[in-house]
Amino acid sequence: MHRVTIPIADDEITALHVGDHVSLTGVLTTARDAAHKFLVETYIQVDEPTQELSLYEELKGILKGGAIYHCGPVVAQDEDGAWRFIAAGPTTSIREEVYEPEVIEHFGVKAVIGKGGMGPNTLKANREHKAVYLSAIGGAASLIASAVKEVVTVFKKEEFGVPEAFWVIRVEDFPAVVTMDAHGRSIHAEVEAKSKERLAQLVAG
């Protein structure tokens, strides 16, 4: 088990390999389709950001050396106004393949967490910018929520809705497995290649 503290140093990332179990502690943010689209269109694919600059500075601080969790949480609000996570299972990551490489490069993200893996462009970004993809435990939303010790803040909840907002959370011993590393290996790509090979054998008779 690799115990990793956020923000994550490059040497910690390069020490990780496909198949390693990881326990994450620190502050990270959730981000799904709307959040990724917002990051790319507002801050990355422009000559210079001019909109929501205070949020930009906050997100840069959270994401530099940080982690993004592909998650649409189920949340509750206490009487004092504090938010808490009821369920926090991972959502399918491949939808963010169109955005993730640019986000990793621009913001210095070191870990992307989700389920199902990502594609060749994210794998390339991992290798070039020293990042990893971590698979969270599918079907264990309540268990993962227990690793969320505090909702630090939330951004864009009113505009994007609860599942798509940036939920900035402090986690302790968040469990995950490295399935795409910074050395060019992807369990997902390897499984797909083996499946195609087996299918070709079956078709050939």
**Residue 21 annotated to the active site:** no
Chain centroid to CA 186: 16
Strands (E), the chain: 2-5, 21-30, 67-69, 74-77, 83-87, 111-114, 132-135, 148-155, 166-180
Q: Which two tokens stand for residue 23?
A: 């326990």
Taking the C-alpha atoms of residue 138 and residue 92, their distance in angstroms, rounded to an integer, is 10
Residue among 36, 70, 129, 188 flagged as catalytic: 36
Alpha-carbon torsion 103, 53, 73, 164, what sign? Answer: negative
Residues carrying an active site annotation:
36
